[in-house]
Amino acid sequence: MWRNIEHRWIVFGLLILHIGWLANHIRWVVNDEINPWKLGGYAMYTVPSPRINVRVYDALNPEVRIPAKMLQFYAATRFSNIGRTFRCASIPAASFRGFFNENMDLIGRSLAFVFFERRFVRSPPSAKTENTGLVVVTWRDTQTFSYTSRFCGKQETQSGTL
């Protein structure tokens, strides 16, 4: 008899936790703070998959797109914020260290990393690629860089070293 009562409380507790997670996930999606396809994906079929893309530009001449290798940048970001799950989070310095390890010729050059994401447009219903964030990297010396992240209307400045 006691065993059945314990199981009911465990099932009831798990159900409450699941409902809480579901409500929190939907709140994050409605506030556009997370990718709906991540962290349980309760809202994933309400919008197309975001397909995040990062383009690198010269910060002093924004019309000039810079062809760059991005494998180490994406690899470092994968462990800190997989697929930009948390849209408003800044990029960690480790991602830029990986980027500059792969693109040594760009060390010392001011760069702008522009983040694009496929977003759902309600009228008419379609998917459109939009700019969702910007990171500007500047150099203090040959080993130290500063970067300013602009995501979700917030601006954060951080620094890193190679």
129 confidence band (pLDDT: 50, 70, 90): confident
Q: Is the pLDDT of residue 14 over 80?
A: yes
Rounded Cα distance, 102 and 67, in Å: 12
Mean pLDDT of the chain: 83
Q: Is the pLDDT of residue 54 over 60?
A: yes
Rounded Cα distance, 85 and 62, in Å: 27
Q: Is the pLDDT of residue 136 over 90?
A: yes
As beta bridge partners, residue 55 has: 114
CB neighbours of 52 closer than 8 A, spacing ≥ 6?
83, 84, 115, 116, 117
As beta bridge partners, residue 156 has: 149
∠113-75-64 over CA atoms, to 5°?
20
- State the average pLDDT over residues 73-89: 75
Burial 125-144 (b: 16+ CB within 10 A, else e): eeeeeeebbbbbbbeeeeee
Burial class of 37 by CB neighbour count within 10 A (0 to 12, 13 to 18, 19+): middle
